[in-house]
Each structure stands twice: as structure tokens, then as C-alpha cells.
Chains A and B, each alone.
Chain A
Amino acid sequence: MTPYARVWTDSLTMTRRGLAHWARQPGQVATALLFPVMLLVMFAYLIGGGISVPGGGDYQDFLVPGMLALTMAFGLESTMVALTQDIDRGILDRFRSMPIAPSSFLIGRSLLDMLSSAAGLLVMLGAGLAIGWRWHGGPAQALAAVGLLLLLRFAMLWAGIWLGLVAGRPEMVQTVQMLVWPVGFLSSAFTSPATMPGWLGAIAEWNPMSATAGAVRELFGNPAWQGTSWPAGHPVLLAVLWPLLLLALAVPAALRRYRVLGR
């Protein structure tokens, strides 16, 4: 077997392992898929009534792209949890003591998480349609929006792998879990940064999640937050650049961290 074939086979085996998990624990999978749906419904019906859409329009149309971006960004957590559990239970040690392609553990993890995120995205789009969200752009733009969402997830995935390898223990994940909430809300996901105090609004505008949310709004033809700032005017460009920048930092850092385990 050539080295490349080995990486591929081993990565697929790792992915298969995750899929077997899903088949064994349908309850867990359902919870993971439905949690963002619950958030969406909460915001749409419990909180949304009190939020006015910048520039007018339907809050559902404003909210759904924001929730999609939030769901992708929160994927960081699930990647981290899965990784630290494997480390904590000694499963990674066993893999590392076996003659397998070293990168396959991480590649398998990223394949699996992308699969689950794609499934989650489909469920969220369905839920959005169910609460009255519609897209107004063409199919090509809609596909581009989905692509940008998955790109954000891919970047968060590698950030999660890196953080998981650095943390090594599930307890550390709790800290990250707490931190993702303020970071998630300090964005344009739920409301316009213009309604926030000046400096906070500025941070929210530059938040990579805001970029993706804004880009998705633009591509779906949904109402966007009004802003005169540069990030408000270039959401699609930023929604491409931010994840790429994150990937450029996280992928080498994660691979390096993985290589030096045991140094």
C-alpha cells in the first residue's frame, strides 16, 4: 500500500468509527441536531418579537442566516469534546502505538465532523423554512451561501482540533464552552451591531461569524444589518478571508501539536 493510500484508508476507517457511533447512539445524534433548532425557535418566537430588524423586514429572514453561522461556529465545541475524550480514554495512545498513518486520526475526525455539520445544516435549513424563512436569490447564490457556512465550520473544526490537542482533558472544554457563547452573541447573528455600545459594536462587526452571517444574508437575499463600516460593506470577502486565515493558523498548529505529542 502506498503511503497516500494508507492515509486515505486509515482516515476512512476513523470516519467509519464515528459513523458506527451515530448508528449506536441515535439519541445523541438527534440531540445534537435538534439543539440549534431549539435555539432558532426560541429566538424566533420568544425573543425575536422584541427585536426590530435593521432597515425593516421579517425577523425570521434576518435570524436564520445568523443562526446558521452560529451553528457552524459552535461546531468547535463538538470537535473539541470528541477529541479530548479520545485523548482522555487512552484511545489516541492506542492509535499512536499502532502502525497507522499518523495524520489519519485528524483527517478522519475532520471528515466525520464535516459530515455531521452538513447534516446539521440541512436540518437547520429545513427548520428555517418551517418557521417562515425564505431565500430570494438564485440557486448558485444559495449554494455559495452553504459553501461559506461549511468553510466557517471547517475552520472552526481545525481550531477545535488544535484546542483539543492543547487542552488534552475534557475539563478544559468547559472553559471553551463558556467562552463560545459571548463570542457567538458578540456578532451580528441576532441583531445589528449598530444597536450595541460603540466599541462592542465594532468588535461584533469584525467577528468572523458576523462576516459569514452577513455574507449568507446577502447571498440568500435576506435583510442585512445596515452599516457604513468596511466589514459591513464586504461580508462575502470577509467570509472567505476569515476562515482561510483561521485555517492557515490552526492547521499547521494542530499538525505540529500532534507531531510533538510525546516530546
Chain B
Amino acid sequence: MIRVRDLVRTFGTHRALDGLDLTVAEGTVHAVLGPNGAGKTTAVRILTTLLRPTAGLAEVAGHDVGRAPDEVRRRIGLVGQHAALDEGLSGRQNLELFGRLHHLGGPGAARRAAGLLAEFSLEDTGDRPVRTYSGGMRRRLDLAASLITHPKVLFLDEPTTGLDPRGRAEVWQAVRRLTGAGTTVLLTTQYLEEADQLAHRISVIDRGRCIADGTADSLKTRAGADRIDIVVRDPAQLDRAAAVVGGTVTDADRRLVSRAAPDRLAALTATVTALTAADVEAQDVALRRPTLDEVFLTLTGNGAGPAAPADRPGPTDSDSASDTETETPA
């Protein structure tokens, strides 16, 4: 459904895309994952005909974005980084406006707007100005606006950036419903967890190139062994705990010690035994797969990481994993 080969886009001397390759199969959700400035938005802008490529091939739904932009536009929906909505108008008016621009006609646009408001649980607030909407509601309306003509391919550029956990959950749920309906979705994100939650496949990009591609599981496998996390009750015992289990202190504030666990359960048993023998009291001992953060670090080999901790949507790793579990309906 999307085919990108050796795509290059330069801005002056800066190569925002430097030979990007990407293939997205029909009906799948594909996440493009990478840090700020990796070229995610540039790629989306080219695929949605907003930006011309400098070189390379980019096809969406069988049409070249440069040669047949109108054909592409007929088949796509775009949800950009900022909710592209008319703040002064109501949700319904916004949807009707976009419906008219898609030549549904007045009554047709009104019908479609009503249907989408219902589908995105915005019926009650549909006639209030968008200015009064919460972040999550705006995004849902934005999503609804991009679906007016049932696009074959939907582009979501960092759909949950800037949302609180509740808004994020709302958007995730909406995206999951779409994929149930067979829409091909390409989403960009800085949040590994988001890619993990939503996408069938993930392309990790860095400095305008794809550096890894696969399912979340395969990427995690590439990053190496499973890990064991130990939360030590007494901070004074952190170093001792790390020494006896053969791991490192990964987060002193959270009193966290981690070690590799190539043989999984055997390692877990050995860890608990070692801690007991050394008289270190552990609050929690958990076996887990590597996080995509660790995957990213392994793949890029630099410490940049996918997102600076300051602009994370919520607590990292274990905390956010547990709060998403409750949100996952499937």
C-alpha cells in the first residue's frame, strides 16, 4: 500500500531523509519510530503530497506522490502533529466543512458528520466550539475529519504527542477500531510503547534512514536477552544487590537493579537465591523482555534514545506498561 525506495529530501545542506526505504502492507498498522529530527515528519509530508522529494520513489495506494498527487490525495487521510481544526467552529461544523470539500454536498456532509461524531463518541459535544475540547477530544475529531471519505491509507503523525494518558488511551482505542475496519495506517511516534501497542510492524529510523524493520517481538529479540528487574527496598543495599546478582544499578532513584537473563527462569531462580543468601530485601523481582528503549539503544548505538525523558507522556517502562494493560481491550 505504501512503497518507499531510497527516498531523499534535503533542506539546504541538511539531509532530512537520506535514502529511506519503507514498505507497508495493505490493512496493517505500521509504526515509524525514531527520535526528534529523525525524518519522520518529513517522510509523512512527502507521502501526503505536502512536500516534494528530492530523489527516490514514493508510492501510496499505487500512485506516485510526485506524478499523481491528486490520485494520492483521493485515497489518503492525514492527521498532522497539530490538530488541524477550526477552533472557532463546532466539531460538527468542522466535519461538515471537510465533507463539503470532499464534494459530499450539504446534506451528505451533514449525514457523514453526524455518523462520525457518533462513531467517535463526540455526539454530546459536537455542537460546542472546538476551542472548548480537551486534547483527546480534539485528536478524535481530527481523526474523524481525516476519515470522511473512507481513505485507503491513513497517516498519523505523532498522534498522541502532548496528550495526557487519558487522551492517549482515547486515541489508541480509536486507532485500534480503524485497523479492525481494514484501513492501512502509517503512524509515526517517538514512543516505543505506542509502536508496541498499536503496530503490526515497526520501522526504526534514525538520521533519515531505516535502521531496523520488523515486528515488535523480532526487534526485541534482536536487542538481545530478556532482563530481570529487581527493586531493592533499602537504597543502601543497591550496590550489594547488583554485585550478588551480577547486574548493574540502572536507576538509583527507583532503587532498580537489572541483569540479563538469557536462560530466563533459571536466572530468575538464581537471582532470588542470591538475594536471599546475601540478605538483600527485594520489593519486587520481575522477568521481562527488553523494552524498545533498550532496542533502540542497541540499534543506534548512541545514547540519544527515542525521547528525552522530559517529554515522555508518562512514567517509563514498567509503570506505563501497567497502565496500558488496563486500557487494552483486545
Tell me the A residues contacting B by CB distance below 8 Å. 1, 6, 9-10, 13, 16-17, 20-21, 24-25, 89-91, 93-100, 261-263
Contact B76 A97 (CB under 8 A): yes
Partner-binding segment picked from B15-23, B43-51, B192-200: B43-51
- Assuming the A-B contacts A13-B100, A24-B129, A100-B101, are A263 and B82 also in contact, with contact meaning beta carbons closer than 8 angstroms in the complex? no
Cα distance, A94 to B76, chains bound together (Å):
11
Contact A1 B84 (CB under 8 A): no
Contact B82 A10 (CB under 8 A): no
Cα distance, A100 to B104, chains bound together (Å):
12
Contact A97 B129 (CB under 8 A): no
Can you list 19 A-B pairs, Cβ within 8 angstroms, ordered by A? A13-B97, A17-B86, A20-B97, A89-B82, A90-B80, A90-B81, A90-B83, A90-B84, A93-B45, A93-B78, A94-B80, A94-B146, A97-B48, A97-B50, A97-B78, A98-B98, A98-B102, A100-B101, A262-B52
Cα distance, A36 to B81, chains bound together (Å):
37
Tell me the B residues contacting A by CB distance below 8 Å. 45, 48-52, 70, 73-74, 76, 78, 80-90, 93, 97-98, 100-103, 129, 145-146
User: Which 6 pairs from chain A and chain B are nearest by CB?
Assistant: A90-B84, A94-B84, A99-B73, A97-B78, A262-B51, A90-B80
Cα distance, A25 to B97, chains bound together (Å):
17
A168 to chain B, nearest CB (A): 13
- Of chain A, the residue at the smallest CB distance from B75 is A99
Contact A20 B89 (CB under 8 A): yes
- Of chain A, the residue at the smallest CB distance from B129 is A24
B67 to chain A, nearest CB (A): 15
Given the complex, which residues of B lie within 8 Å of A91, measured CB to CB?
A: 84-86
Given the complex, which residues of B lie within 8 Å of A89, measured CB to CB?
A: 82-85, 87
- Of chain B, the residue at the smallest CB distance from A12 is B100
- Of chain A, the residue at the smallest CB distance from B70 is A99
- Assuming the A-B contacts A1-B103, A13-B101, A99-B70, are A94 and B78 also in contact, with contact meaning beta carbons closer than 8 angstroms in the complex? yes
Contact A93 B129 (CB under 8 A): no
Cα distance, A103 to B229, chains bound together (Å):
59
Given the complex, which residues of A lie within 8 Å of B76, measured CB to CB?
A: 97
Given the complex, which residues of A lie within 8 Å of B50, measured CB to CB?
A: 93, 96-97, 261-262
Given the complex, which residues of A lie within 8 Å of B80, measured CB to CB?
A: 90, 93-94
